[in-house]
Every structure is written in structure tokens, then in C-alpha cells.
Amino acid sequence: MQKIKISPSILSADFSQLSLEIKKLEDAGADMIHVDVMDGHFVPNLTIGPPVIKSLRKHTNLIFDVHLMISPVHKYIESFSNAGADIITFHPEATESMHETIGLVKELKKKVGVSLNPQTPIDLVKDFLDKIDLVLVMSVHPGFGGQKFMPEVLSKIEDLSKLKKEKKLAFDIEVDGGIDFDNSKLVKKAGANILVSGTTIFKNNNGDIKKNIDALRTG
């Protein structure tokens, strides 16, 4: 059984106390911190940029799992790298050259991920699976927190898992969007090994973050 990692999304945290919220996540056993970056252009919402990531970097040694929902993404990669991102994930639709953007992230000595929206076919990433570290499968439409999980993406996770085994590759399969204690079982069974969750981790069980993280990981 592959190790399941939990990447809590700080989109659901108290933004007035982000450093304290991250400390709570670290103490509760989170494997990494998922940072959603939205530009109000690629997706219809605005969140945080490099200065906030840089200010948070000194408060934890946890991996910063940075999901860039911005376009054009290529010219901002270096700024997020310098701010302290450890994994930089972008969307195929947000770059003119997958090859160049992947290459830039690698040059900066960061792990690189590619994110697939619910409607984005695996074909866009198939030829790059041996060059990337992570595929982020969106199980909601990106841009807003609190949406309901879309079960139709389970087949995409299964297909990626099958390709991973067939080609003997090592990329992680991460899933983000509406993850709760029930559908987390389905995505793990389908082949995902990293779960992103915001609302479930911060709000369930009267905000018992450790209990929620443990339940997502082992449930």
C-alpha cells in the first residue's frame, strides 16, 4: 500500500493568523502545505502572491505545494521559486510551451507538477509524465473553495495510475477539490497518493485538525 500524504489547503485557514494556522497543521502531522495562487484572470478569484509565501516560509520546514492558477504562468515561475515554493504546479492551458515551463522549474531546482481541470484530458500531459514529479487532478472547477467533489474524475485518476505502473514512473497523483472522509476512500482506491483538503481539515470535528488529517490519511 502506497503512503498517503495530506496537503492541507490554507485557502480555508484564518488568513489573519496564517503563521499560527501553519504551525497547527505541522503539529497535526500534515505532510505539506497546499498554497492556491489565483490571479482573477485564469480563474475568477484572487488569492496570494510571492510576498505572502516568502513571509510564511520562515515559519515552517514543511514542503510548500504551490498550485499556480495564473496565466501566462511562465514569467512568474521564478518569483514563486524565490519566495520558497518547493513544488510548483501549473496548468497546460496557462503556458505556450509545456516543455519550456517544465524545464524552467527544473532549472530552479524545484519539483514540477501539472494540473488537469475536470474537463482537461490526460493526453495533454501524457508525453511529459517521465519529466514531471506530480499530476494534480482537479475534482472541482478551479477558482473557488467549498465546491462538491466531481466523481467523474475517478476514471482519470485510475488511468493515470495505470500509466504510472505500465511505464514504471514515479510521479505523485494528487487530488484537489471537495475531498472529505467518504470520497477520500474512492480517490485513494483509484490510485491517488496525495490528498488536498481545506474545509474538511479546518472545519470538521469542531476543528480538530489532527483528527481530520489522520482520518483522511487512514480512513
Q: Residue 37 in contact with residue 47, Cβ under 8 Å?
A: yes
Which positions are catalytic?
A: 36, 176
CA angle 186, 27, 209 (to 5 degrees): 45
Contacts of 147 (CB under 8 A, 6+ apart): 140, 141, 177, 178
Each residue of 122-171: pLDDT tens digit?
Answer: 999 999 999 999 999 999 998 766 679 999 999 999 999 999 999 999 99
Q: Residue 206 in contact with residue 185, Cβ under 8 Å?
A: no
The CATH code of the domain that includes 133 is 3.20.20.70
* Number of domains, the chain: 1
Q: Which residue range forms the structural domain that includes residue 63?
A: 5-218
Each residue of 73-108: pLDDT tens digit?
Answer: 999 999 999 999 999 999 999 999 999 999 999 999
pTM for this predicted structure: 0.96
